[in-house]
Structure 1
C-alpha cells in the first residue's frame, strides 16, 4: 500500500499552481454563466480565445454529469491544439445550482495540453478532492493564498 506522503511524490507535476490560478467569486453566479466566469482569468492571460470557451460551454452543458474531478467539483474542458496548458480553480462563495437543483461551489477550468502534462496535476487534485473534509475546507478559505496553502499541504 502506498502511503499518502509517498503517493504525492509519485506525481511528477510539470504544471504548478499559483495564486493566479485561483479565483474566489463572491457574487451570485447562474448556471448559464459559471463556465464563462471560470475561464475568464485564462482568457485574460491570453492562453485561450473566446472560441475555446464556446466549445467548452457546448461540451460541458451537454455532458456536465460526466465532467467531474471530485464530488461536486466540475471540470469543464475541450480538446485543444495548443502546446501549453492552463488551469483555473474557481471557488463560488455563493453556491451555483445545476439543472438538477444540486448546489456546487468548485469548478476547475482546464485547457489541456497535447502531451498530457496536465494529467499529474489533475490526479493530485482528484486525490485532494476525495479526502474527507477537504472540499469543505477549501470552501471556507477566505483568500486565494489560503486555498493555495491548503492544496500545497495535501
Structure 2
C-alpha cells in the first residue's frame, strides 16, 4: 500500500535553506496532484513553530503532518531525500522528509503504522538514506510490505 502512495511522489534535492523550505519542497508532489492545498502546508509548518520538532520521529527522519481542516483533498504521502541534511528546531538534523496527508484520522493511523514498521528496520532506513532514485525507494518499500 505504501509503495502505491509513493509512486511519482518522491523528490530528491541537494539542499534546502531551512526546515520550512524542506516541508514545502516535500509537499510539492501532493500539491501538484491536488491531494493537498497550500493551507495544509502552512498548517504543517505552523505545528512545528507551535509544538517544536515533534515531527522528527527518529534521527534523520521527519514526518510533517497536520489535522485536516480542509487542506487535504485526498490521502497521500510524499518523500523528500536531501543530500545535505537540514536542521529542524532543537538542532535536529534531517535528511528524509515524509509528508503525510490523510483525509481522516483512520487513514492517518494506517499510513503511520506502515511507515513506522518500515523505518524501524535499521538496514532499510540506511538504504533509504542512500537511495539515488524513486525506483530504488519504491523497490525497498515493496520488499518489506
Residue pair 1:72, 1:106 contacting (<8 A) in 2 also: yes
Distance in 2, matches of 1:116 and 1:15, equals 19
Distance in 2, matches of 1:111 and 1:33, equals 17
CA RMSD, aligned part only? 2.2
More helix by share: 2
Q: Describe the SS at the equivalent of 1:105.
A: strand
Alignment partner, residue 132 of structure 2: 142
Q: State the shift of 1:29 in Å.
A: 3.6
Query: Do structure 1's residue 104 and structure 2's residue 109 form an aligned pair?
Result: no
Structure 1 unaligned spans of 5+: 1-12
Q: Give 1:52's match in structure 2, choosing from 35, 40, 44.
A: 40
Q: Describe the SS at the equivalent of 1:20.
A: coil
Distance in 1, matches of 2:111 and 2:61, equals 15
Distance in 2, matches of 1:138 and 1:151, equals 9
Distance in 2, matches of 1:125 and 1:74, equals 11
User: Scaled by the length of structure 1, what TM-score is found?
Assistant: 0.79
Alignment partner, residue 73 of structure 1: 61
How many pairs were matched up?
142
Q: Describe the SS at the equivalent of 2:8.
A: helix
Residue pair 1:67, 1:74 contacting (<8 A) in 2 also: yes
Alignment deviations for residues 55-76 of structure 1 (CA, whole Å, 9 cap, x no partner): 1110123324322444432111
Structure 2 unaligned spans of 5+: none
Q: State the shift of 1:86 in Å.
A: 1.4
Within 5 Å, give how 1:1-154 maps onto structure 2. 13=1, 16-80=4-68, 81=70, 82=72, 84-114=74-104, 116-154=106-144
Residue pair 1:22, 1:89 contacting (<8 A) in 2 also: yes
Q: Describe the SS at the equivalent of 2:53.
A: helix
Residue pair 2:78, 2:99 contacting (<8 A) in 1 also: yes
